[in-house]
Amino acid sequence: MKNRNFFADWHANHGREYPWRVSGIEPFHTLITEMLLRQTRAGGVALIWPDLIKKYGSPNALIEESSEALITFLKPLGFGVQKTDSLKLASSWILAKESGKVPSIRERLLRIPHVGQYVANATLSFAFGKRIEIVDTNVLRLFSRYFGLKLKPDIRRAPEAWKIARKLLPRSKGTVRVHNYGILDFTADICKPIGPKCGICPLSRKCSFYRELTYER
């Protein structure tokens, strides 16, 4: 992973297209999208995304909607009352403490109920174009395999992973957003949880997991 633009290049050549990845997306839309993406597949979110933004594209719209209607709307993603509550609580907080606007400061994002390190950093990177790393469970898996590390599966308890992700960021601020998309794309398409495509992986030469695999044969 010496080439700092590896994941940005990966995104340019193999990136997945989603409606929330176009430029000019409102920070609130990015925030609620990332909150949903934490526990479900992107393809499912893509199906409901246009309606999500049309109906619930502001903190006011989300808190004014009944919980029952929101649960019904999010049901296709497998979400229930917990996710509905988290979206409503985050919206209430933004209205009460942030004058209805998603803050662009990490500490303030982390104060929003149900916004953790991944969602905060993803919002800063994707909505505000900040030079900041992202780590989710897929990124943890990639780092564990590639560097041969025994990382805890909880991103809050894997400081090493955040350090690596920080180090891998491209120098140019303008490339960080696509770099972060690229790392997510790469872990979804190549370094998958089950059946990683090591045979066609451009990182295999220096990957600890692959080396062990081929050594055992």
Query: Judged by CB, which is closer to ligand SF4: 54, or 150?
Result: 150
Q: How far is the CB of 199 from ligand SF4 (least distance, A)?
A: 8
Query: Judged by CB, which is closer to ligand SF4: 101, or 197?
Result: 197
Query: Judged by CB, which is closer to ligand SF4: 33, or 204?
Result: 204
Q: How far is the CB of 197 from ligand SF4 (least distance, A)?
A: 6
Q: How far is the CB of 211 from ligand SF4 (least distance, A)?
A: 9
Which residues have a Cβ under 8 Å from the Cβ of 45 and sit 6 or more positions away? Answer: 18, 33, 36, 37, 52, 77
List interacting residues with ligand SF4 (CB under 6 A): 142, 145-146, 190-191, 196-198, 201, 203-204, 207, 209-210
Query: Judged by CB, which is closer to ligand SF4: 45, or 168?
Result: 168
Which residues have a Cβ under 8 Å from the Cβ of 184 and sit 6 or more positions away? Answer: 134, 136, 138, 139
Q: How far is the CB of 34 from ligand SF4 (least distance, A)?
A: 24
Q: How far is the CB of 61 from ligand SF4 (least distance, A)?
A: 41
Two tokens, residue 131:
């030079």
- Residue type at 201 in one-letter notation: C
Query: Judged by CB, which is closer to ligand SF4: 29, or 145?
Result: 145
Angle between helices 137-147 and 159-168 (to 10 degrees): 80
